[in-house]
Amino acid sequence: MVGNRSWFGGLFNRTGNKRQGSGERTLDLTPLQEQRLQKLKDRLSVPFDETRPDHQEALKALWHASFPETELTGLVSEQWKDIGWQGPNPSTDFRGCGFVSLENLLFLARTYPASFQRLLFKQEGVRATWEYPFAVAGVNVSFMLIQMLELNSGQKETAKPKSLPAINFVKVLTDEEAFDVLYCIAFEMMDAQWLAMRASYMQFKEVLEATRIQLERELSLEDLHRIQDLPAYNLLYK
């Protein structure tokens, strides 16, 4: 069931609180890491623009990945609620995170289509009567990752990550798809938490917080050389 905008908007504030870690570290970035980190930050700074043809096409591609046999009647349509947007115009739900959240959803659909379908249609586990809305949840997962990895726009462009999870993430940025793969892992992890907690609609923020804690744990592991080394990577289905 799709929620109201106060529920959605509140999640950004709640999940965006910066953690005060006692074990802050510093990292000397290699030129490649600096380049990849800046490229990722540039991606994150792009707002969703419903007037841009490439953004419109990306939105249509998401619909086609979700319902390949059903024609979309328009970019503003009640059909979007079937994916889990809050209203007939999904562009309003991107305001808190930007175009990257749509890119993340498309990456999940194209790279791990079995996971995408399983999450979209809630195909596994004992589901709640009031389920989380898929697309809106996906935007919140993107936002949670940006905050957790210290990539938010409030940070100085030259700021280096200080927490161990953020540092370890930058170390694996030799893979340009690291952020997108981590997003897919986080979405699967969130759904697993949802089922384990037997959560319902209004408990989504608690589920997202539990997901963040688990993800921070895994990103703090030693000998993390690539994002696929995370234990939760095994949750993904191609």
CA distance 21 to 93: 31
Residue given tokens 């997962």 in the structure block: 141
Contact 82, 67 (CB under 8 A): yes
Residue given tokens 């305001």 in the structure block: 95
Question: In this predicted structure, what is the pLDDT of residue 5?
Answer: 44
For 31, the 3-state DSSP assignment is: helix
Give me the residue spans of the domains in the chain: 31-63+77-236
Average pLDDT for 22-48: 84
| Average model confidence (pLDDT) across the chain | 88
CA quadruple 149, 153, 154, 159: dihedral positive or negative?
positive
Contact 107, 180 (CB under 8 A): yes
CA distance 17 to 7: 16
Residue given tokens 């947007």 in the structure block: 85
More confident residue, 5 or 207: 207
CA distance 86 to 210: 24
Radius of gyration (C-alpha) of the chain in whole angstroms: 17
The four Cα atoms 136, 43, 144, 23 give a dihedral, to 10 degrees, of: 180
In 11-93, beta strands by DSSP E: none
Residue 129 pLDDT level (bands cut at 50, 70, 90): confident
Contact 162, 18 (CB under 8 A): no
Q: How far is CA 3 from CA 11, 127, 133, 136, 185, in A?
A: 12, 17, 7, 9, 24
Q: What is the pLDDT of residues 133-168, one digit of tens each?
A: 999 999 999 999 999 999 985 555 557 788 999 999
Global pTM reads 0.89
Nearest by Cα to 196 from 94, 124, 137: 124
